[in-house]
Amino acid sequence: MNDVLRLNIAQTSFSFIKKLRSNFIYTRRKTSLRDYSDMSFYGLNFVHKTSFF
């Protein structure tokens, strides 16, 4: 697994999660802070799992 590919995957999944998160905030502005932090946590886990095989 070379570093450039790993970095690419990390950036792609990170921007995907950022987009997902902003869509989530946009559609559900009244969502609780706890939901939001839970989702951020899962997002970080996802990035970690997909970036470092």
- Please report which residue ranges of the chain form alpha helices under DSSP H: 3-27, 33-51
Asked if pLDDT for residue 18 goes beyond 60, the answer is yes
Residue from 2, 8, 1, 9 nearest 49 by CA: 9
Q: What is the pLDDT of residues 23-53, one digit of tens each?
A: 666 555 555 555 656 666 666 666 666 655 4
Per-domain residue ranges for the chain? 3-51
Q: Distances in Å between the alpha carbon of 16 and those of 21, 28, 30, 42? A: 9, 18, 22, 13
pLDDT for the residue 53: 43
